[in-house]
Structure formats: structure tokens, C-alpha cells
Amino acid sequence: MQRRIAVFGRSDAREVSRYASELGRREGLSEARCAELELVALELATNLYRHAEDGAVLLRRTRPERRGVELLGMDRGPGTQVARAMRDGFSTKGSAGLGLGTIRRLSDAFAMRSAPNGTVAVVRFHLHPERTPSFRLGVAEMPFPGEQLSGDGWAVRARGGRWRVALVDGLGHGPQAHLATKTLLETLRECDDLGIEDVVARWHDAAQSTRGAGALLADFGANRVSVVSVGNIGCRIHAGDGQTKGLAAIPGTLGAGPMPRLVVTSEPFPPESTLILHTDGIRARWRADDLGDPSGGLPSLTAATLLRDHRRERDDATCLVVEQRPTGDSHESDG
């Protein structure tokens, strides 16, 4: 899962750097690459607390897409002149002095979007950068203010070149909502051989012992995506030609009352298509124009932009973005 570190000063920046290096070692990166990752993380975090407001870094391992580490820096302004920031040495006093241009060269993947209301930057270090996966995943999540545990959760199962993606929103927030979500995601691990409707039926049974949850399950394969959604999970498909289509959820709560009557929606999902999912902690009335072209950068850029600009302040919030690439291998591990 993802860890969020708010960056208010030097000690927070050092914690971002330390944790990034720890993740790199867990993923098998060499000591030399871990040292570069540590340096890049320190620079990214230092720029946040010196340049911006409400800055934070979200860190996670990038499995099952591929082994590696992703850093997602986000803030609320005042924005950065991207071309100027890309020059080597453009940095703040007291940072590592790398400049974003050097950060881009040291990383295996880099993307940045800046506007007057803030900047989002994504940095990735991969164990096998020469491999190109068929799917890319982006995520940005934040718990209810003051809570350590989120009632939202997500998971990806990858088998034989096919992906299965789940997004779950436990009712309410706090430990009991977290428990409901955890129960469904643990059940998912036992259902790799089941069809999508059978998995949701298992979820409904498993959720009986919890306060209940809304959830979405999507299966990807053969340039199509099949989706079942119960509750208030937002879902849109962004096609490579710029068209966007929303997929409706079934009203109801898993684990409460009778089993909802499921409807499976199957849609084309050719290369350069993007699936954007979010819990109801993100307002549903966002416009595709707010995101630019979702296929024009790393998926986490889209996820973080939605989280920052459309999050409800009094709820858990998670955005999950899945993009199919034109060519590539399958996955490295199910993590």
C-alpha cells in the first residue's frame, strides 16, 4: 500500500529519503541505485517544504506492475515554471541542489504537472527498467483527517497477462471501515479462479460480519475490461481518442441486506485506454479537462491531481488509475 508523509520541514524530508531508500532495498535495487533514490527523494521533499504549501510525498512499491519504488510529490501551490525547474542546479537553498532536470535523468520514469493551484511530480525507480509492462497503475490515497487507518483499500491480482483490479470503500471511516475493506481484499486473494460475479458474491458473504462496504471489481484481458460495481465507486473509461465514458454502479451495500442484483459491464479497452476509479471521498463532478490527457503521463499524475483538487475533506479518499500500454510484457509479480 501507500504511505503518505506530510513535509513541513527538514526532518520530514529526511524521513521521506530514509523510507524511500528502505523501499528500494526491499525491492532489490542495488546500493548505488538506493543511494540515488535517497538523494532524489530528499531533493523532491525539500523543494516541497521550501517552495510550496500543504506539501506531501506518497511512497509505494510498484508491484504487481513491476518491481520498484514510486514517489509522488504533491502540493497546493504556487506552481512551478516547469521549463526553468528542469535546468540543472535550479533548486532551493539547503536542498541537495540537483534540480529537477537531474532528478529526471537519475530516475527511470518522471512526470510533472504544474498549475497555479499546485504541482504534482512522479518519480519511479525500477529494478528492471528495460522491461515494459502491458499495464501501468497509478494510485493516490488519503485517510480521513486524524485517522491512521483508511476505510478505503485497493488490490491488483495479475495472472498470465491478465489483470484484476479491486477498489473497496468500507462504510464510514476509522478502524471498523478499515476492517470491512481488509476483509474483502483478503477474500479476493482466494478467488483467482472465480469469475467476476462469483467474487462479488463471496465478498457479500464475507462482509456480513462487518459494517459493510461498497466495492468495484474490474477484469482486464483481450483489449476489454469487465466491471461490476456496488455502491458509490466512481468509474470512467478514457479512450485514446479523447472520449470519456462513465460506468454506473449498482445501488446497495455488500454485507447488508439481500445480495444486490449484479450487472457486468464489458467495454473495449484497447491500448492507450485509461480506467479511472475513485471512492466517494473524491467528488464525482470532476471534468476530464481538469486532468489534461490521462495517457500523456504516468497514471499516478492523474490520480494525484484528482485527489488534490476534488477530495472531500471529511472522508477517506482513494483514486486508482489503470492504463493499457501499446506494447509490453505482462507483470513481474503479484506482490
- Concatenated DSSP letters for 124-187? EEESSTT--BSEEEEEEEEPSTT-SS-SEEEEEEEETTEEEEEEEEESSSSHHHHHHHHHHHHH
Average pLDDT over residues 132-161: 91
pLDDT at 273: 94
User: What integer pLDDT is reported at residue 242 of this predicted model?
Assistant: 79
Of 302, 236, 311, nearest to 267 (Cα)? 236
Cβ atoms within 10 Å, residue 223? 11
CATH number of the structural domain 3-126: 3.30.565.10
Q: For the chain, what's the residue count? A: 335
Instruction: Show the cell assigned to 48.
Output: 516541497
CA 38 to chain centre: 21
Strand order in the sheet with 118-126: 3-6, 56-61, 68-74, 118-126, 109-115
Tell me the average pLDDT across 190-216.
97
Top pLDDT among 19 and 329 is at 19
Over residues 202-222, the mean pLDDT reads 97
pLDDT at 328 over 60: no
pLDDT at 23: 98
Residues 178-182 have a mean pLDDT of 98
Confidence band of 76 (pLDDT split at 50, 70, 90): confident
Q: For residues 276 and 290, give the distance between their C-alpha atoms in angstroms, rounded to a whole number.
A: 13
Can you give the pLDDT at residue 89? 52
Residue 93 predicted with pLDDT over 60: no
The Cα 73–Cα 91 span in angstroms is 15
Backbone angles phi, psi at 283, to 5 degrees: -60, 140
* The pLDDT value given to residue 115: 80
Return the number of other C-beta atoms located less than 10 Å from residue 53's C-beta. Answer: 11
Looking at every residue in the chain, the average pLDDT score rounds to 88
CA distances from 113 to 70, 154, 295 (A): 16, 25, 13
Burial classification of residue 285, based on how many CB atoms lie within 10 Å of its CB (0-12 exposed, 13-18 middle, 19 or more buried): exposed
Written as nine digits, the cell of 18 is 530514509
Delimit the CATH 3.30.565.10 region(s) of the chain: 3-126
Encode pLDDT of 7-31 as tens digits.
Answer: 999 999 999 999 999 999 999 999 9
d(CA 89, CA 327): 36
* Residue 333's pLDDT band (cuts 50, 70, 90): very low
**pLDDT for 222:** 87
Which of 26-40, 118-132, 265-279 shows the lowest mean pLDDT across its residues?
118-132
Compute the Cα dihedral for 274, 285, 282, 43 and give only its sign: positive
Please report the beta strands in the chain, taking only residues with DSSP state E, as ranges in sequence order.
Answer: 3-6, 56-61, 68-74, 109-115, 118-126, 135-142, 152-159, 162-170, 213-221, 224-230, 234-238, 244-246, 265-268, 274-278, 317-324
Distance CA(283)–CA(313), nearest Å, equals 10
Residues 113-142: pLDDT tens digits? 888 888 899 999 999 998 888 889 999 999
pLDDT at position 79, please?
60
CATH 3.60.40.10 residue ranges in the chain? 135-324
Q: pLDDT at position 99, please?
A: 73
> Phi and psi dihedrals of 56, rounded to 5?
-155, 155
DSSP code of 26? H
Q: Picking from 108-117, 188-197, 273-282, 314-323, which range would have the lowest pLDDT averaged per residue? A: 108-117
Contact 108, 299 (CB under 8 A): no
CATH classification for the domain delimited by 135-324, as one of 3.20.20.70, 3.40.50.1240, 3.30.530.20, 3.60.40.10: 3.60.40.10
At 81, the pLDDT band (50, 70, 90 cuts) reads very low
